[in-house]
Amino acid sequence: MPAMRSKWLQILALVLLQFPASSILAEEAPAESAGIEVMSAFTSAEVEEGEAVAITDETKYLVMFLMGVPLLLLLLATVVLGVAMGVYGKPVFVAHMVCAGLSMTLATAHAVVGLVWFYPF
């Protein structure tokens, strides 16, 4: 039994020593040339206009308005459900939390869109 164990230990040692040797012998030249090709794609002077550039300011304002109206309605519903739950003791906790979660999600999206479109970078 000890002879078999030592044989497995020798095989394991050979396998573990083989991995660092193979990584040292590997060539890195193809990775460098691939990196140069990728970087040249980002630094090229040819910049095409995307769809985001083609959106007019009127369309941006309309989208912000169409996001803002449901946001205000959700906030109002959250407040009404919170008051109904807190003051009048109605069992509307789940509805209140759903409205609050939707309000926060829409508020975050509204803020991100507003910053991306209207903040002068």
pLDDT at 119: 86
- pLDDT computed for residue 44 by the predictor: 64
Given this model, what pLDDT does residue 53 score? 66
Output the pLDDT for position 33: 67
pTM of the model: 0.55
Query: Which residues of the chain, if any, have pLDDT below 50?
Result: none
User: What is the predicted pLDDT for the residue at 102?
Assistant: 97
pLDDT for the residue numbered 106: 97
User: For position 107, what pLDDT does the model report?
Assistant: 97
Write down the domain spans for the chain: 2-43, 51-116
Over the stretch 24-53, which tens digit does the pLDDT of each residue have?
A: 555 555 556 667 777 776 676 555 655 556
Cβ-contact 71, 106 below 8 angstroms: yes
